[in-house]
Amino acid sequence: MSAFVLDRRFGLAQGFETYQDDLTVGSQPSLGSFRERRADLTNEVAIRWLREHAHERFFLFVHYYDPHWPYAAPPPHGEQYAKAPYDGEIAYVDEQVGALLSAVDRTPARARTLVVLTSDHGESLGEHGELSHGIFIYDATQLVPLILSATKVLPRGVVIPDQVGVVDIVPTVLDLLGVARPPGLDGVNALVRPADRRRIYIESLGAELMHGCAPLFGVRCDEIKFILAPKPEVYDLRTDPGELRNLYAERRREADELYASLKGFLGDDHGPVLPNLPLSEDVAEKLRGLGYVVASTRPGSRPPTTTSSAASSPPDPKDMIVHLRRSQQAQELIMVGRFDEGIRLLEEHTQVCPEDLMALHRLAEGYRTVGRLDEALRTYRRVLERSPTSTEALGGVGSVLLRQGKLAEAEAEYRRILSMDPNSPVGWLGMAGVRAAEKRYDEALAAFRRVTHESAGGQAAVGAYVGIGSVCEQMGRLEDARQAFIQALRIDPGHLRATEGLARLEAASGQGRQGIERLRESLRRRQDPEGYLTLGRLLRQVGDFDEAEKAYREAMRQRPDHAETRFELGALLAAKARHDEAETHLRRCIELSPDHIGARSEMGILLARQGRLDEAAKWLSEAAERAPQRAEHHYNLAIVEEERGHTDRAAALYRRVVELNPRDAQGHFHLGQLLAGWNRRDEAIDHLRKALAIKPDYAEARSLLDRLGVRDK
């Protein structure tokens, strides 16, 4: 299996002796997407199994997921089809299907093997305004290949002229194998031409479940198609295969006949389909967002009739497709790091389509990514107004509250999730984050480890290992932290947060360049402002100020209103003596984050370097007041007060410095210097000796003691 949607938890492993759905090696290519495995990696597993079992009777089901949006074929196909990325993914999967069939040919089983190739849907690629699939039921997405090959049973090159459905695969295969069909089986033998006009049922609930529009149901014949929608549609497929001219008004009699057939297909189940197996809420929510699993929102409702008005039902997807397309374009912009543009499009879209839950989710995630936390919180809560049990939205609210330091409120949201699903990875990851913020590290590690145990090999496990690494790093257990980040990268080699964590540890151990290059490679695969911020810090740490500035500016380009990025850039520019630019960014940081203590301190130091001592004292006083236990803020203020001639205040501040940090050699020296100037010789000598005890090569302290006539050995 190549994607999360075929995970065994959905009951798809029934009847298989071996079901390989471990996506330990995979990717998560975009914001809000899920794990998948590339076709060549799936082939490795399938071909290995085939070699072991080719001498037996076998049924091998191989699933490829690659030709799904976003399209990103590996080399050389990605480069070869740079202007047509979907074609690149098709070419890549075609190559991998060929590799699998070649492997079959190399076994003695080929002569007795039936090969069936098909797909679950196509891609619109802009037809009828739909960029991908899941909204409409036009042939652009409904027509898929069905190819059968069996050397001893089927003739070569025969084309079946009549329409068949994927529903026909099982009865066709059973007939070819001479196996009796079980009673009640849907579908027919596709190789037997039907005596009567064949009608096949089609549907799409994606517009309803993901975007708040009306669902679509239909019936397709070889020559005509009927689509039940707020504005019903009829197409003559022989003269209009592109389904461009709606003949509903002209062919009402045929429409009514096909509508009667549709009601026969639907039976009493006219509302959305209920899931047929129990799912944890976080899994159900994830799949609901993708249109794979649906919950009934209108129990017992009747189907819309051909005369229903737009006023009495959700909007017709045809009327909304321009807006839905803009929503997908917005997501593409966010994926490549153009956050401002993507967020702006989503804001416009959700004003027009306020029921589009997927777009609201994406907008909230965009806000959260760029640090617009209040707006993220409001948007997640808009989702919860429409979907009160949305695990994704509840988890989003919790994550924002956690970042805002509102730990009790964040915990309440995560407990709501766990009350619905006691094993929810979202809930336990959130609780672990709360405990880590409270510095209850053992409890945080226990919660993270619960997720790794429950979600071995999945994306939740990656997040848990990153969390374990971060907590161990804070505890000073650096080797444990390193192993946790490495384990996360084993599961997902491109995971940015794991890469960042490992890069930090490497920088701390003197291997800064190695970590920097690893992080650069991850950022080439996926743009991320937090990643560029970390890259800037690492580059500054190794003394590469120019490259650090580039990284900070890229982070700022992606989210210009992120306070921490402004602070880091301002501090770097101050170190490069570009005072005016530094002041601009530090002031903007304080505007964005009025409680940012570091920016106040850095601003005070910057102004002091320019001789603007009164202004510097104001900023440094605020920093010291807001962080009274931080010795460095008192020290910086003391230096400025001493330069302003306020020596009594400076001495009091130096005393506070050495109280908070008795091993601050500079604090002891400056206090000793002031005391010596006031002829308080004994006190001065005491502090100067302490400075030298802490820092034996402190030349200024030694010189001042010499002048005081002290000759210590």
> What would the pLDDT profile of 73-100 be if each residue is shown by its tens digit?
888 998 999 999 999 999 999 999 999 9
Would the pLDDT of 528 be above 90?
no
pLDDT of residue 433: 95
Would the pLDDT of 297 be above 60?
no
Does the residue 395 lie in any domain? yes
CA–CA distance, 688 with 658 (Å, rounded to integer): 12
Would the pLDDT of 289 be above 60?
no
Q: For residue 11, name the pLDDT band (cuts at 50, 70, 90).
A: confident
Provide the β-strand partners of residue 235. 225
Start-end of H helices in 270-424? 281-290, 317-335, 339-352, 357-370, 373-386, 391-403, 407-420
Would the pLDDT of 547 be above 90?
yes
Would the pLDDT of 277 be above 50?
no
Would the pLDDT of 636 be above 80?
yes
Does the residue 405 lie in any domain? yes
Q: Which residues of 450-472 are buried (b: 16+ CB within 10 A; e: fewer)?
A: bbbebbebbbbbbbbbbbbbbbb
Does the residue 568 lie in any domain? no
> What would the pLDDT profile of 116-158 be if each residue is shown by its tens digit?
999 999 999 989 988 888 889 999 999 999 999 998 888 888 8
The least confident of 43-47, 61-65, 482-486, 524-528 is 524-528
Does the residue 333 lie in any domain? yes
CA–CA distance, 579 with 586 (Å, rounded to integer): 10
Largest CA distance in the chain: 118
Query: Cβ distance 542 to 513 under 8 Å?
Result: yes
pLDDT of residue 691: 94
> What would the pLDDT profile of 643-692 be if each residue is shown by its tens digit?
999 999 999 999 999 999 999 999 999 999 999 999 999 999 999 999 99
Query: Cβ distance 533 to 566 under 8 Å?
Result: no
Does the residue 662 lie in any domain? no
Can you tell me whether residue 32 is helix, strand or coil? Answer: coil
Query: Cβ distance 37 to 3 under 8 Å?
Result: yes
Domain count, the chain: 1
Would the pLDDT of 283 be above 60?
no
CA–CA distance, 109 with 98 (Å, rounded to integer): 16
Comparing 240 with 489, which gets the higher pLDDT? 240
Can you tell me whether residue 20 is helix, strand or coil? Answer: coil
Does the residue 207 lie in any domain? no
Would you state the structure tokens that stand for residue 52, as one six-digit string?
A: 């072991």
Comparing 245 with 512, which gets the higher pLDDT? 245
CATH, residue 357: 1.25.40.10
Query: Cβ distance 185 to 267 under 8 Å?
Result: no
Query: Cβ distance 23 to 36 under 8 Å?
Result: yes
pTM of the model: 0.66
Mean local confidence (pLDDT), 300-328: 64
End-to-end CA separation in angstroms for the chain:
75
pLDDT of residue 295: 38
> What would the pLDDT profile of 535-545 be if each residue is shown by its tens digit?
998 899 888 99
Number of H helices, E strands in the chain: 31, 6
Does the residue 325 lie in any domain? yes
> What would the pLDDT profile of 459-504 be if each residue is shown by its tens digit?
688 889 999 999 999 999 999 999 999 998 888 777 778 888 888 8
Alpha-carbon separation of residue 647 from 466, 583, 620 (angstroms):
49, 28, 16
Domain that holds residue 396: 316-422
Does the residue 343 lie in any domain? yes
